[in-house]
Amino acid sequence: MNILSSLLPATARSAAQRQAEAWLVLLDSSACTPEDRRRFEAWLDASQDNLAAYVDIERLHQAARTLASDPAMQRAAREARTVAARPPARPWLRLAAVASLCLFAVAGYRALQHLPDGGSQSYANAAGPPKRVALPDGIAVTLDADTQITVSQGRAGTGIDLARGRVLVGTSAATRNGVAVSAGSGVIRDIGTRFEVDQRVADAVRVSVFEGSVWVAINDRPQPRTTLQAGERVSYSSAGEVGAVEPFDPHDAGDWSGGRLVFRDEPLEAIVAEMNRYSTRKIVLQGQDVASLRVTGAFQAGDQQAVLTLLEHGWGLEADRDRRGDIVVRRPGDR
């Protein structure tokens, strides 16, 4: 019997919850086939109740593993079982033993709703080149500069919580259960694909799909999820407002995961801000007319000198170091 079934009677669980439990068991089984995964996706698409039930059940099962290994909860369980098994001298002791077991069950159920996922590991990348992390189940995650994630393992796959920054997630033929990325007010889930989640702006998340497909759902919202195919992207706000799906060319988007940044007719201010994320030596622009220059170019992440060379030869700008070691770019004579 699974942990949820032991806490909730069958009559208290909806049909969607019972089906969600069955899917969790199947997805975690070695007998799960690609056709089973397609049927699972169709079941999710069939009803918003199915999606909500699956998310709830998955969270409970993930938390159950933490609960099972928690020393305090294990100790409380042993004590409760010992009291319950001991022959009571008086009737009220038996009632006390039953009450302690009930209290433990209630406390355990409440803990399931609040404990963090089990088996979690945090990864971070400060200023510098993109950092690649190989996860179990054939999943590869590339962390952009100034990015932090927490990874947890669950019955239905790998969970990634993006605290800030940008990640590129890729799965392989060896990936059995897919991956779910939580970012801002939403969750992005895939089975067999390559996609990017960008949360560099504090109040917005942008999801771009390079291969395969993903769906994007807003937490605690009844609205239908958004399905993205390769070459499509969508953004949503911290308030859960989802924008329109937009096309983009995956081959024309640059490859920041490989350290190559591509800019096309973008303000120099935006380009410098992006390049500064990859270096402790910052470029500082002096003058709004300099900041608003439109620039097209491709640079290696962290190669500040390439940017300076382009600005000096292409726009006749000059660069000097300030007292902090940063590089100030200005027009000649502007001091």
Tens of pLDDT along 46-58? 766 776 676 666 5
Q: Does the model's pTM come out above 0.85?
A: no
Q: What is the pLDDT of residue 6?
A: 36
Q: Where does the pLDDT of residue 35 fall: very low under 50, low under 70, confident under 90, or very high at 90 and above?
A: confident
Tens of pLDDT along 85-131? 445 444 433 333 333 333 333 333 333 333 244 568 999 998 888 99
- pLDDT above 90 coverage of the chain, percent: 29
Residue with the bigger pLDDT between 320 and 82: it is: 320
Average pLDDT of the residues in 4-18: 52
Instruction: Retrieve residue 134's tokens.
Output: 């190989």
Tens of pLDDT along 291-319? 999 998 888 888 899 999 989 888 899 98
Mean pLDDT (the chain, rounded):
75
Buried b or exposed e, range 229-266, using 16+ CB within 10 angstroms: eebbbbbbbeeeebeeeeeeebeeeeebbeeebebeee
Q: Where does the pLDDT of residue 168 fall: very low under 50, low under 70, confident under 90, or very high at 90 and above?
A: very high
Q: Where does the pLDDT of residue 191 fall: very low under 50, low under 70, confident under 90, or very high at 90 and above?
A: low
Of 168-177, 209-218, 254-263, where does the model show the most confidence? 209-218
Among 106, 148, 118, smallest CA distance to 131 is for 148
**Residue type at 63?**
A
Q: Where does the pLDDT of residue 43 fall: very low under 50, low under 70, confident under 90, or very high at 90 and above?
A: confident
Q: What is the pLDDT of residue 94?
A: 39
Residue with the bigger pLDDT between 176 and 12: it is: 176
Q: How many CB atoms lie within 10 A of CB 52?
A: 18
Tens of pLDDT along 254-275? 678 888 888 889 999 999 999 9
Average pLDDT of the residues in 320-324: 82
What is the C-alpha to C-alpha distance for residues 293 and 272, in angstroms, rounded to an integer? 11
Q: Where does the pLDDT of residue 45 fall: very low under 50, low under 70, confident under 90, or very high at 90 and above?
A: low
Q: What is the pLDDT of residue 244?
A: 94
Q: What is the pLDDT of residue 75?
A: 54
What are the CA-CA distances from residue 46 to residues 42, 261, 289, 305 (Å)? Answer: 6, 40, 54, 54
Q: What is the pLDDT of residue 55?
A: 61
Q: What is the pLDDT of residue 23?
A: 76
Q: What is the pLDDT of residue 324?
A: 80
Sequence spans of domains, the chain: 3-114, 121-251, 259-330
Domain 121-251, classified CATH 3.40.50.1820, yes or no: no
Please say whether the beta carbons of 185 and 240 come within 8 A: yes
End-to-end alpha carbon distance in the chain:
75
Give the CATH fold of the 259-330 domain. Answer: Phage tail protein beta-alpha-beta fold (3.55.50)
CA angle 237, 239, 240 (to 5 degrees): 70
Q: What is the pLDDT of residue 155?
A: 66
Q: Is residue 234's pLDDT more than 60?
A: yes
Residue with the bigger pLDDT between 108 and 21: it is: 21
